[in-house]
Amino acid sequence: MLVPGVVLAVICVGFLVLIAVENGFDHPREFLWPIAGLLVIWIIFVRPCVQLTQAGVVMRNLLRDVRFGWPAIDLIEQRWNLKIFDEHGKGYGSWAITSQRPKRAARTSAVKSGPSFLRMGPGLGPIDETDPNSVMKVRSGSAAAVAGAIRDGQLDYAAATQRDASYKANDEVAAVPAWPAILALVLAVVCVVVASVA
């Protein structure tokens, strides 16, 4: 989903440049439509992803983030899209990962290799946001490949807890509003309303 987002973002930036070249900055309202477009593109195509971390899985959807601790993941389904179920049978679908036939190149991708950072030596603690190697972000790929990476993560977590019994991830699912995306949507609506008012 990232490629269409980049293409649409380039088109919006092209409109911004075209407006600036033709009219200068005399009519700032004309810039609001492409800016609204960029905000919506970010919400729909760029922001959504699935993150695999030492603590579990984070599913970033349009306006909501769902955080799963490794023990909280009960079942993974990849029929129409990636869907993760908790122990109570409640399912959460991913906006970013849909069911598609995996490409031949996907066999060597980071998605296929899974979150092997759980195996990286001692000191397994909370996720370090400053370490880019500790988070695997997946924006595309087949639902089956991402589900396989999550299953690998579950196995890694089980092995990590056997090596160090004190290492425990949160066993809950938390669905929280994605405030940056909500703010971007509000700003996009404001841009559209202001641009539409004569």
Q: What is the pTM of this model?
A: 0.76
| Strands annotated E in the chain | 49-53, 56-60, 64-69, 75-77, 81-85, 91-98, 135-138, 173-177
- Tell me: do 170 and 188 sit in the same domain: no
- The confidence score (pLDDT) of residue 26 equals 78
Q: Are residues 38 and 73 in the same domain?
A: no
16 three-class SS = helix
Shared domain for 103 and 13, answered yes or no, is no
Q: Strand order of the sheet with strand 135-138?
A: 135-138, 49-53, 56-60, 64-69, 173-177
What pLDDT is attached to residue 185? 96
pLDDT, position 117: 47
Is 70 found in the same domain as 123? Answer: yes
At 100 the pLDDT is 60
The single-letter code of the amino acid at 140 is S
Over the chain (198 residues), the average pLDDT of each successive run of 10 is 82 89 82 94 91 88 93 90 92 82 45 48 42 64 84 85 79 93 96 87
Q: In Å, how far from its chain's centre is CA 165? A: 30
> Do 32 and 76 sit in the same domain of this protein?
no
**C-alpha dihedral sign at 141, 143, 147, 148:** negative
Looking at the structure, do residues 98 and 187 belong to the same domain, yes or no? no
Please indicate, yes or no, whether residues 101 and 29 belong to a single structural domain of this protein: no
User: Is the same domain home to 160 and 190?
Assistant: no
Q: Are residues 159 and 186 in the same domain?
A: no
Provide the 8-state DSSP code for 11. Answer: H
- Residues 10 and 69 both lie in one domain: no
**CA 136 → CA 17, 46, 55, 112, distances in Å?**
35, 15, 12, 11
- Whether residue 164 is found in the same domain as residue 80: yes
CA–CA dist 82, 59 (Å, integer): 10
Name the residue range of residue 11's domain. 2-46+179-196
Instruction: Note the pLDDT of residue 155.
Output: 86
Q: Domain count of the chain?
A: 2
Q: What is the pLDDT of residue 90?
A: 94
Residue with the two structure tokens 């919506």 = 40
**pLDDT in the model for residue 198:** 56
Residues 28 and 101 in one domain: no
